[in-house]
A and B are shown apart, each in its own frame.
Chain A
Amino acid sequence: MAPLTCTKLSVITITGIVTQIIGLSVFVFGFFPVKPALPGTSGSESFFAPACDFVGNLSDTTLPSDQLQSLYQELSGIPPSFDRLILMVIDGLPAEFVLGKNEKPPKKQFKEAMPYTQSLLVSGSAIGYHAKAAPPTVTMPRLKAMVSGAIGGFLDVAFNFNTQAMMDDNLLGQFFRIGWKMVMLGDETWIKLFPRLFKRHDGVSSFYVKDTVQVDQNVSRHLRDELSKDDWNLLILHYLGLDHVGHIDGRSSVLMAPKLKEMDEVVKLIHSSIIQSQINRPGRPLLMIVSDHGMTENGNHGGSTYEETDSLVLFIGLRNHIFEYASVINQIDIAPTLALLFGVPIPKNNVGVLIREAFDSLKEDQHLRALELNAWQLLRLLHAQLSGLPCRNLPCDAFYDHQSSSSSECNHTTENMLCCLYMEAAALYTSWKSKRGFESASNKDYSRTTSAYYKFLKSASEWLSRRTTDKPVKLLALGLATLFISSVILSSLMFCWLREIYHGGKQQTSNLNDRMNGWSFDETFIVSAVLILVTCMTSSSMVEEEHYTWYFLISTFYLLLLRKTAQSLSAVGLQSSFLMQKGQSGEGFFRICCIFLLLISGRILRGWHQGGVNWTSLPDISKWLEQAGSQYVKPLQLISAVLVISIGLFALFSIETKGKYFQMVRLSFLISGLLVLLHITRYQDYAFSSTNYGATFLVQIIYAILGAVTIGTVVALPWLIPLSTSKIFPADNTIASPIFPSIQEKFPLVELRDSLYVVGWAYILCWCLLQLLLQQPINTTPVLLLLLQIVAGVHYFVRSGTHHKEWVEIAGFYYLGMAGHFSLGNSNTLATIDVAGAFIGISNHSTFLSGILMFIITYASPMFILLSLVMYISTKSMAHLVIPEKANAGDLLMMLLGFPCLVPLVLNSILLTAYTVVLLLMQNHLFVWSVFSPKYLYVCATTVCTLIGVFIVAATGFYTYFVLAMRKEKACSS
């Protein structure tokens, strides 16, 4: 194989990166389909055909509730069949328990446990359905689906995990608008979803899963009281006990039958009170018993198996029907059915279809009108998702020729098919309306019209819901394959190169160190760490507690470094080290001190935040400090900030080169450091500093100075740094080498080293100051500790020379960055993202800017590591890297930048690909929504972070080198 050149290496790397980006975007696009949702809520415009631009809907919002109610009634033309609704939610009850499965009756024990409900079913006064719930079969998304009729996409669920209140158009909001009074007893999820909507509520927490009795007693204790009152229109009862029974023992628990019996008692109580009240009171109440999801044999839920998605819908109070067996509907069908039964507009993003039997008691024209309203609503939604829907230009009066749309056209594209089905139904409806007055045979027309409507509704609903739940398998496979190819490209490139350096060029390397050829313990560890990480990703609790893995790996790595240092301490070295201050033993001691610094600071960082999910309540340093009060936090923060700034400035001052330009760089960093300190002392005390004009202005000044200085340094330094004559600094031992002068003649090594050092520290200092400004006060000390770790690590690796291979060192840094990521309080749940910090220094709301700030805060540590690689490059000795005789610029650059760019890319791409596979495998896992999908978002963001960081490193290296080489050439020729 031909030896790698710089151009080849960079071309292949860029190919790998581009493949990765393409693969990732294809996968993300396939996995997280973005569903256009209609904003706002349905009003009176929903009673008109969609094509007619209805202008009067603004007046809806201003109308008082009772007028709105009568307006809706007048417009819809359907008198409400019921005036009160009792919605009884039994959490986790599979419909199989009540209705049986596959046209067979339920198990005997369950049937006997619910005698009253079964008798209602047999007598026909109750109608039961198997309601198919969409995954994720978890309570909150299911409740949302029931009241809005919409199926949330993957991203909706991921991003709405923390934002609790339901903002979309939903039934409860519609009821509230027409002035309904609502009462809620049971699971407090309802209160979180709909704060301020309930007149009275008594929430119970679903937190204590072990409790199966008290949760339900807390609901039932108000029941008699509430049933006797008549000041409410909607009563929601949400019983959690059955779900808890399932979680404890599964479907066949001994507690299941008593629990069902208890539920049956509640049904009996409610139903008898309804029957009694009907004698005393006008109006008809409807009792509806639903379950939000089913459960597996073990009692778990969340996935998409039949057992989990088989939920129950039971109407009690409709006209009597006797069915042999229960039919299957979708859970989302509840929303439009209830909306039209109670005379409110169907929620805007509803995908459900009216339940046929619920409208049987209506007159024919009312039933058709209800179907028409449902069809219009779905058509609006179709318009939003399919811009090219041909039936857009419908005449407003809906009088068109029956003959114009023949059924033969109904089988081309989806658009045409849906549109044609709608036209057919609408045409049939129109002709039915025109014939109704004088033809007696309209019964046949009526059934034709309803079946046409249902055909359209069913296919539209199916198509719409498939858009949100179905994953395009081809797209996913393509994305995954592309990701895989990219990680193969990158890792095989690195492997080839490693072989070339350490084995192909044996003549050069063997004289450096014999150990270079062996496969040593720390290298094995670095490689096996990747395998361990990949293995850990497959377990949901290891994903939740990922920080433990990183901490454990990084501290093991430090201990291995310690062992390696001990190896190099020869017996003589140890004995004489107490006497000698210089020489190898002194170096060894310095390295041991570095490792101890790494170990100690790493341990403190680990104890700073108790992250993850399960052990967050355990004590940690940050909680301890916050309890101790701000009189301890503040000084600690100030000391840390001062130390960070002084370490950075000291490093900048430690370079010997003098010149006005250097002084300016130092001065401006000093100024911005002082400004940051000023901000910390003056403004961070106020909880809402973002509203303070002075604070915002100060922060903006700091942003400006930092940005200007850093970019200025990077751009201008290579031009301004004085070119050295060929003399070498005698005190410098990192470059001291016999072959050095010949290289220095050809390449501007000293200048390159110096400018990379200054630029690297400028990056580090700029990043640290940003973090001091943006992070929470409690995180200031971790920033200091991270800086210490980087400094100690770089010094350790510099002093140990060629003991470690470069890729091991960089991989170690990468691991350090990931461990630091968690020690700043981050975790794999979206809840730990610091949103408050994202508004510091932003005067007007901008999602883009606060997004960038949020990224800076969250990815502080990995980015920090990548930026500090510039400084790390400058400290490595460069002389031995190139072969003096045939060296060219490409080789030098490749040796300089190759590993610092390639190693993070390879590690990240392996982890990304592995996690993508895990996500695909886990897409039906119980925790795919709560654990795996947020983690995937983090993995994607880490990829972005790595790409940006590597780009900065590579760009800085290339730019600095080429500017210096050009200047050198000019200086030589002149």
Chain B
Amino acid sequence: MKEELAKSSQSTISSFQVFLIHVCCGLALAVGFWVARNVYSINLIFDPTTTLRLIWAVEFPVVILLFSYFRQKPEKCSYLKAIARGLLGLPVGVLLNVLGALALGAPAGLQYFERTASWSLLMSSLTFVPTACVYGSCWTDWHRIFACTKPKGPLDFMLCLPAHGAVIGAWFGAWPMPLDWERPWQDWPICVSYGAMAGYVAGMVGSLGLALMHTGGKQLKAE
């Protein structure tokens, strides 16, 4: 009973909705790439800054609009407020991502600043903005999702797994950078962005799977 009460306080989400959101986010990434390639004829390797910004420009509105719909306590918090929270969350996320990247060794020179900033914009909208839209500035939820990694329910999975996937993917994406293969994609932040996006997609798949298992488990119990 208690569990159900706790659930009901959270805005519920069906696995179909999870699927829909993930497909939209994934599609947005793909559309971003497609537009960059076919409309502006640029790609990540030759013009990382513009391409990253372009992908971000497609991804960010999708993310913020979709996730604000699943905001916590919808009776107290309007849709617009959730969007505003997401918009506020973006610069904070950018700052944290920039600091994290610098700490892990991203080049600190001024000539790299634009690239780092564009990369952080994208990373922030993949990791930080969804949670900001849904939970606002509630420390307990942030603590649960990001510090302890103890998500409960499909909504938490949906926020937690892709974000962690993006960060871990970016971490792994950095490994080829020091190698002497002399490939253009070894530059900061190209392979890191690829890694982040791959990790993000993997996280989305994982979250979808967990959401399906979760609902499946519940149905079994109900039977």
* Binary A-proximity of B38-56 (CB < 8 A = 1, otherwise 0): 0000000000000000000
Within 8 A of A (CB), among B120-161: 139-140, 143, 146-148
B102 within 8 A of A: yes
Contact digits for A543-569, partner B, Cβ 8 Å, 1 yes 0 no: 011001101100110110001001101
Chain A nearest CB from B123 CB (Å) reads 14
Given contacts A541-B178, A552-B174, contact A569 B103 (CB under 8 A): no
CB within 8 Å of A: which B179-200 residues: 179-181
**Which residues of chain B come closer than 8 Å to A599, judged between CB atoms?**
103
Given A552-B105, A619-B109, A575–B139 Cβ distance below 8 Å? yes
* A566, closest chain B residue (CB): B147
644-662 of chain A: CB within 8 A of chain B: none
Most A CB contacts (10 A, CB to CB) among B146, B148, B179 go to B179
Is A579 interfacial (CB-CB < 8 Å)? no
B177 contact set on A, CB distance < 8 A: 548
Say yes or no for B5: interface residue by CB 8 A criterion: no
Interface residue? B217 (CB, 8 A): no
B30 within 8 A of A: no
A602 to B103, CA, bound (A): 8
CB neighbours (8 Å) of B19 from chain A are: none
In whole angstroms, how far apart are the Cα atoms of A574 and B140 in the complex?
Answer: 10
A599 CB to nearest B CB, Å: 5
Residues from chain B with a CB closer than 8 A to the CB of A628 are: none
Q: Mark B97-130, 1 if CB is under 8 A from A, else 0.
A: 0001011110011000000000000000000000
Rounded to whole angstroms, the CA-CA distance of A174 and B140 in the bound complex is 83
Shortest Cβ distance from residue B105 to the other chain A in the assembled complex, whole angstroms: 6
Q: How far apart sit A704 and B102, CA to CA, in the bound complex (Å)?
A: 43
Q: Judge whether A558 and B108 touch: CB under 8 Å.
A: no
**B109, B139, B146, B178: the one within 8 Å of A615 (CB):** B178
CB distance from A562 to the nearest CB of B (A): 9
Inter-chain contacts of B100 with A (CB < 8 A): 559
| A544-B109 CB under 8 A given contacts A563-B147, A603-B103 | no
Does any Cβ of A come within 8 Å of B79's Cβ?
no
Q: Closest residue of chain B to A603, judged by CB?
A: B103
B171 within 8 A of A: yes
A590 and B102 alpha carbons, distance in the complex (Å): 22
Instruction: Determine whether the beta carbon of B108 is less than 8 Å from that of A556.
Output: no
Q: Identify which of B102, B103, B148, B180 contacts A541 (C-beta below 8 A).
A: B180
Quick check: B179 and A545 within 8 Å, CB to CB?
yes
Give every chain B residue within 8 A of A679 (Cβ-Cβ).
none
Q: Do residues B103 and A558 form an inter-chain contact, with CB atoms below 8 A?
A: yes
In the complex, which residue of chain B has the Cβ closest to the Cβ of A607? B108
| Chain A 567-599 interface 0/1 with B at a Cβ cutoff of 8 Å (1 = within) | 101110011000000000000000000000001
List the B side residues contacting A619 at CB < 8 Å: 109
A612 touches B (CB below 8 Å) = yes
Question: Which residues of the partner chain B approach A603 to less than 8 Å between Cβ atoms?
Answer: 102-103, 105, 108
CA A571 to CA B148, docked complex, whole Å: 12
Whether A566 contacts B104 by the Cβ 8 Å rule is: no
A599 and B171 CA atoms in complex are apart in Å by 17
Across the two chains, which residue of chain B brings its CB closest to A575?
A: B139
Within 8 A of A (CB), among B65-113: 100, 102-105, 108-109
A209 → B minimal CB distance (Å): 12
Task: Give A299-313 as 1s and 0s: 1 = Cβ < 8 Å from B's Cβ atoms.
Answer: 000000000000000
> Is A614's CB within 8 Å of the partner chain B?
yes
Q: Does A533 contact B (CB under 8 A)?
A: no
Contact indicator A555/B103 (Cβ below 8 Å): yes
Q: Are A551 and B105 in contact (CB under 8 A)?
A: yes
Which of chain B's residues has its CB closest to A564's CB? B147
Known pairs A541-B178, A571-B140, A612-B178; A555 contacts B148 (CB<8 A): no
Q: Which of A545, A571, A613 contacts B143 (CB 8 A)?
A: A571
Given contacts A558-B103, A603-B102, A606-B105, contact A542 B178 (CB under 8 A): yes
B180 with A544: CB separation less than 8 A: yes
Which chain A positions have C-beta within 8 A of B147?
Answer: 563, 566-567, 569
Query: Which of B139, B148, B171, B179 contacts A539 (CB under 8 A)?
Result: B179
Least Cβ–Cβ distance between B206 and chain A, in angstroms: 17
- Measured CB to CB, the closest approach of chain B to A208, in angstroms, equals 15
Interface contact B103-A548, CB-CB below 8 Å: no
Chain A residues contacting B171 (CB-CB under 8 Å) are 556
A555 to B105, alpha carbons, bound, how many Å?
8
Residues of A within 8 A of B181 (CB): 541
Specify the chain A residue showing the minimal Cβ separation from B99.
Answer: A599
Q: List B contacts of A614 (CB < 8 A).
A: 178, 180
- B183 → chain A closest CB, angstroms: 12
A603 to B107 CA separation, bound complex (whole angstroms)? 10
Docked pose: A602 CA to B99 CA in angstroms: 13
What's the nearest-Cβ distance from chain B to residue A612, in Å? 7
Q: Chain A: which residue is nearest B140 at the CB level?
A: A571
For B148, give the chain A residue with the smallest CB separation. A567
Separation of A291 and B103 alpha carbons in the complex (Å): 50
Interface residues of A in 599-625 (CB under 8 A from B): 599, 602-603, 606-607, 612-615, 619
Most chain-A Cβ atoms within 10 A of its Cβ — which of B100, B103, B139, B177? B103
B211 to chain A, nearest CB (A): 24
CA gap between A575 and B181 in the complex, in Å = 50
Closest to A599 in B: B103
Shortest Cβ distance from residue B152 to the other chain A in the assembled complex, whole angstroms? 16
Nearest CB on A from B12, distance (A) = 24
A539–B179 Cα distance when bound, in Å, is 9
Q: Please indicate the chain B residues that have their CB under 8 angstroms from the CB of A551 in the complex.
A: 105
Rounded to whole angstroms, the CA-CA distance of A566 and B148 in the bound complex is: 8
Tell me the minimal C-beta distance from A248 to chain B in angstroms: 13
A600 to B, closest residue via Cβ = B103
In the assembled complex, the Cα of A542 lies from the Cα of B139 at a distance in Å of 41
Residues of B within 8 A of A567 (CB): 143, 147-148
For B141, the closest partner residue in chain A by CB is A571
- Min CB–CB distance B142 → chain A (angstroms): 9
Known A559-B100, A559-B103; judge A574-B179 contact (CB<8 A).
Answer: no
Tell me, in angstroms, the Cα distance from A566 to B143 when the chains sit together.
8
Return the chain B residue nearest A544 by Cβ.
B180
Is B139 a contact partner of A552 (Cβ separation < 8 A)?
A: no
Closest chain B CB from A555 CB (angstroms) = 5
Q: Which residues of A contact B146 (CB under 8 A)?
A: 563, 566
A538 vs chain B, min Cβ distance (A): 13
CB distance from B98 to the nearest CB of A (A): 12
Give the residue name and chain of the A residue nearest to B171 (CB): A556
Q: Nearest Cβ distance between residue B207 and chain A, in whole angstroms? A: 20
Residues of B within 8 A of A613 (CB): 180
Q: Are A545 and B102 in contact (CB under 8 A)?
A: no
Tell me the minimal C-beta distance from B49 to chain A in angstroms: 20
Cα(A615)–Cα(B102), bound, Å: 18
Interface bits A265-299 vs B (CB < 8 Å: 1, else 0)? 00000000000000000000000000000000000
Q: How far is the CB of A614 from chain B (nearest CB, A)?
A: 5
> Which residues from A are CB-within-8-Å of B139?
571, 574-575
Q: Which of B105, B140, B179 contacts A542 (CB 8 A)?
A: B179
- Would you list which residues of chain A between 694 and 713 have a CB under 8 Å from chain B? none
A238 CA / B212 CA spacing, docked (Å): 71
Write the chain B residue with the least CB distance to A613: B180
Nearest CB of B to A524, in Å: 13
The distance in angstroms between the C-alpha atoms of A548 and B175, with both chains bound, is 9
Cα distance A599–B177 when bound, in Å?
A: 21
What are the residues of chain A within 8 A of B109 when measuring CB–CB? 619
* Known interface pairs A539-B179, A541-B179; A552-B148 also in contact (CB < 8 Å): no
Closest 6 A/B residue pairs (Cβ): A545-B178, A548-B178, A566-B147, A541-B180, A567-B147, A614-B180
Beyond contacts A559-B103, A603-B108, A606-B105: 4 other A-B pairs, Cβ-Cβ < 8 A, are A545-B179, A559-B100, A603-B105, A614-B178
Listed by A's residue number, 24 A-B pairs whose Cβ atoms lie within 8 Å are A541-B180, A541-B181, A542-B178, A545-B179, A545-B180, A548-B105, A548-B178, A552-B104, A552-B105, A555-B105, A556-B104, A558-B103, A559-B100, A559-B104, A563-B146, A566-B143, A566-B147, A575-B139, A599-B103, A603-B102, A603-B105, A603-B108, A606-B105, A614-B180
